[in-house]
Amino acid sequence: MLRFMPVGDSMTIGSAGEHTWRYRMWQHLRATHGAPFQIVGPRETLYDKATGAADSYEYADPDPAFPRAHLAGWGEGWYHLSPLIADAVRASRADVLLVSLGLIDLGFYTNVTQTAENVHAFVAQARSANPHIAMALLPVIPNIRAESDAAFAQEVTRFNDLLDKTVANLNEPGSPLLLASLPHGYDIHTDTYDGTHPNAAGEHKLAATYAQALHQGWGMGAPYSPTLAGTT
């Protein structure tokens, strides 16, 4: 049985009242994977903007079957999660990591080179807990700061280029790495509610880019269908 762990920042943890792309991906895998699987991770909650803490269980879909597990945090990046990933992989026995990180790092904590170094550290720590771990990584996706701040947009482009090279260099047959494509047709004006965080349309597009990477790269599942993954 494969165990998938979503890893990310605010776009992955989501906030109270949202489905999250994690939910869309679970629906997709449930419909297409064709074998038993689990969604795993040490955390389960959403971020609550009212309390300013990750203490909400108010998902948009109350389906008790939805596995809410993840390793994601509002305002967390490679810088924060690299020291945590080994314990999380070890405890959950994760096989596949679905990773979306980098915006927070570049925006507040580390430059391009330092962020790439933390990607290296993350991969090494994950492999220390499971030498056969597989990882699908998402580049930093379009966001409102990159649209309005040309210098920051250049940093994002530089990091995404370096991430591409890093994934190629660190890829191993026994522990494969995939770099997912940027979500097809992603528009911050229609796919987010604030220029950064995905709305329902954006959730589908984020799940779809992971689904495409897994299907094309590793033969997992099938092409993404919003109908199968929940249309609301």
Question: Which tokens is 99 given?
Answer: 């990773």
- Would you say residue 229 lies in a domain? no
- Would you say residue 230 lies in a domain? no
- Would you say residue 225 lies in a domain? no
- Would you say residue 141 lies in a domain? yes
* CA of residue 106 relative to chain centroid, distance: 16
Dihedral of the CA atoms 137, 139, 143, 147 (nearest 10)? 180
DSSP state of 16: T
Q: What is the pLDDT of residues 72-128, one digit of tens each?
A: 999 999 999 999 999 999 999 999 999 999 999 999 999 999 999 999 999 999 999
Q: What is the pLDDT of residues 4-25, one digit of tens each?
A: 999 999 999 999 999 999 999 9
How far, in Å, CA of 151 to CA of 32, rounded? 41
Question: Domain containing 23: what range?
Answer: 2-218
- Would you say residue 90 lies in a domain? yes
- Would you say residue 192 lies in a domain? yes
Look at strands 53-56 and 96-100 and give their pairing: unpaired
Residue 28, burial from CB neighbour count under 10 angstroms (0-12, 13-18, 19+):
buried
Identify which of 171, 74, 72 has the alpha carbon closest to the alpha carbon of residue 120: 171
Q: Which stretch of DSSP H or E encloses residue 120? A: helix 112-129
Q: What CATH number has the domain bearing residue 179?
A: 3.40.50.1110
Specify the pTM: 0.97
% of the chain surpassing 90 pLDDT: 94
Count the residues in the chain: 232
CA torsion through residues 100, 104, 107, 112, sign: negative
pLDDT-based confidence at 226, cuts 50/70/90?
A: confident
Predicted confidence (pLDDT) at residue 231 exceeds the cutoff of 70: no
- Would you say residue 191 lies in a domain? yes
If one counts the domains in the chain, the total is 1
